[in-house]
Structure 1
């Protein structure tokens, strides 16, 4: 089969096929390619993989990738459990012992701290439509002047991010992201759609996250931070802001404090983040942010006066 035929069959890009062929070569799989009009990739006749050929590192990695919570959300909890039992039974005794130790000593929890589990009652229907390439009609709740909209979507993929499920889908020739828990109603349509052959879900998601940060960080602020504030940052601010401080931070000549620039989402949002650090941070600019923080502090001072 040619790279294009493989890409069409597997619904990936040709670039992904080339990358995976290189990975298979590196793993010792006897694939060979032949150029020309009748050429393509071919697997050496008679070649078979053997499960017992797993190394200890490979067996351990496989058991670490089995996340029971997300699998259960997708309706695959029983399937995952059965697959792990079959894999365990097929492993040599030494690897079976190591896999058992791994399961006893490591547990992966993808949910976020201080957040209730994301209830997504329509997740199974979303997954089914994504897998079978069926169009869906959804009533979707959003933060906008019109809180609910009805849209017909072509579901391209499902993503789990920080314990929350997201649907990547095409609507009106645009690919958008929808939080599955915000789907109020879902109707599965008989009409099918053609998924773009070159669409790569992981690449799209990475680009979406970068674009999301660019859209919400529309301005910047200049601040002063104490040594204590620098120590607290990873615990009270999101990673993008912490990286901005570390990248732009410069120590002042007059003392231990540092100056840095951080991206701003809005005056109100940024003020809330700064107030978490109390007197260990000072706004230098913009003036509107400095004034807003001062107003909040003045109001708090009046509320907490001790007589």
Structure 2
């Protein structure tokens, strides 16, 4: 639309300074003749825009014609652009909106703050999913986001781990959380937490709900994670680890004379702990509980026997 194109011309000239009609036409994907008409329209509207002819010419705004964001420090300007994660925004259907918003904010920044914003954008890139995790497909994420924003009830068919696995639920979506590349919706009544990628079907409605005034999404999520870990780690193991080895969530008690560290580690189950500790090979020794130590010893003995006979097996 012409109005949007006129705003884009203003923002481009504020951001980049002098630009030729050809450069503007290429950026906006229109003809040079269209740019000429748009520039005339801006001039007729009172915008202090002028053009210079010749090889080094082009259009530019009079110095000082700029909408500025006041009160921002350089650090705040950097954080503002670091917070704009394009991947999650695109998943929410807001990729183009984010790009347009960043262009507008950047154009409104004073020159010195714009330099800080450009530096942070060029030197830091946020990529939230883990290396070995497959991207979770959440086809109903935009609809859930719309329901969150508009305060509308949705009915979903949700797949859970317990029987019956596929259940129908009426949700009052309070908010969305992105954790390690995976989207969660916090919804009433409850509230409760649901993985968006496990929604198999979704039906939107015009039914409105009232979000509790005292509901704090960030505080809820912090408490939810704390409760999750308390329920997840129901035991503890005492281990010795080699120098330089650090275990997540471990409490390190002391360092032995040989440099090994004695530590207490919360564990989810004996089987899960065994698999995690075996990854460290000879850099860990399990001391307690006795059952876990026995399981480790038994598995290591079986591996030693298997690989000890590998030469003869290869020769057969």
Residue 186 of structure 1 aligns to a residue whose secondary structure is strand
Distance 1:295 1:146, change over 3 A: farther
What pairs up with 1:210-249 in 2 under 5 angstroms?
210-227=226-243, 231-233=244-246, 237=247, 239-240=248-249, 244-246=250-252, 249=253
Larger Cα Rg: Structure 1 or Structure 2? 2
Could you tell me whether the CA contact under 8 Å between 2:68 and 2:110 is conserved in 1? no
Pick from 256, 259, 267 the counterpart of residue 259 of structure 2: 256
Q: Distance in 1 between matches of 2:80 and 2:197?
A: 29
1:160 maps onto 2:164 in alignment: no
Q: Distance in 2 between matches of 1:268 and 1:103?
A: 44
| Match in the other structure for 2:206 | 190
What pairs up with 1:60-99 in 2 under 5 angstroms?
60-99=78-117
| Match in the other structure for 1:279 | 282
Cα shift at 1:212: 0.5
What pairs up with 1:1-307 in 2 under 5 angstroms?
51-171=69-189, 174-227=190-243, 231-233=244-246, 237=247, 239-240=248-249, 244-246=250-252, 249-252=253-256, 255-304=258-307, 305-306=309-310, 307=312
Distance 1:232 1:251, change over 3 A: closer
Residue 245 of structure 2 aligns to a residue whose secondary structure is helix
**How big is each residue's C-alpha offset from its partner over 1:79-113, in whole Å with a ceiling of 9 and x where there is no partner?**
11111111122222333333223322222222222
Distance 1:298 1:70, change over 3 A: same
Distance 1:106 1:260, change over 3 A: closer
Cα shift at 1:270: 0.4
Could you tell me whether the CA contact under 8 Å between 2:69 and 2:110 is conserved in 1? no
Could you tell me whether the CA contact under 8 Å between 1:52 and 1:90 is conserved in 2? no
**How big is each residue's C-alpha offset from its partner over 1:139-177, in whole Å with a ceiling of 9 and x where there is no partner?**
112222322222111111100111111111124xx2221
Q: Distance in 2 between matches of 1:285 and 1:96?
A: 57
Q: Distance in 1 between matches of 2:115 and 2:210?
A: 45
Gaps of 5+ in 2: 1-66
Aligned residues: 244
Q: Distance in 2 between matches of 1:176 and 1:75?
A: 24
**How big is each residue's C-alpha offset from its partner over 1:163-203, in whole Å with a ceiling of 9 and x where there is no partner?**
111111124xx222111111111111332211111000000
Cα shift at 1:53: 4.2
Query: TM-score w.r.t. structure 1 length?
Result: 0.74
Query: TM-score w.r.t. structure 2 length?
Result: 0.72
Gaps of 5+ in 1: 1-48
Could you tell me whether the CA contact under 8 Å between 1:165 and 1:179 is conserved in 2? yes
Q: Distance in 2 between matches of 1:146 and 1:113?
A: 32
**How big is each residue's C-alpha offset from its partner over 1:49-87, in whole Å with a ceiling of 9 and x where there is no partner?**
961443333222211111111111111111111111111
Higher relative contact order (CA 8 A, sep 6+): 1
Could you tell me whether the CA contact under 8 Å between 2:86 and 2:98 is conserved in 1? yes
Residue 191 of structure 2 aligns to a residue whose secondary structure is strand
Q: Distance in 2 between matches of 1:252 and 1:101?
A: 46
| Match in the other structure for 1:6 | none
Cα shift at 1:129: 0.9
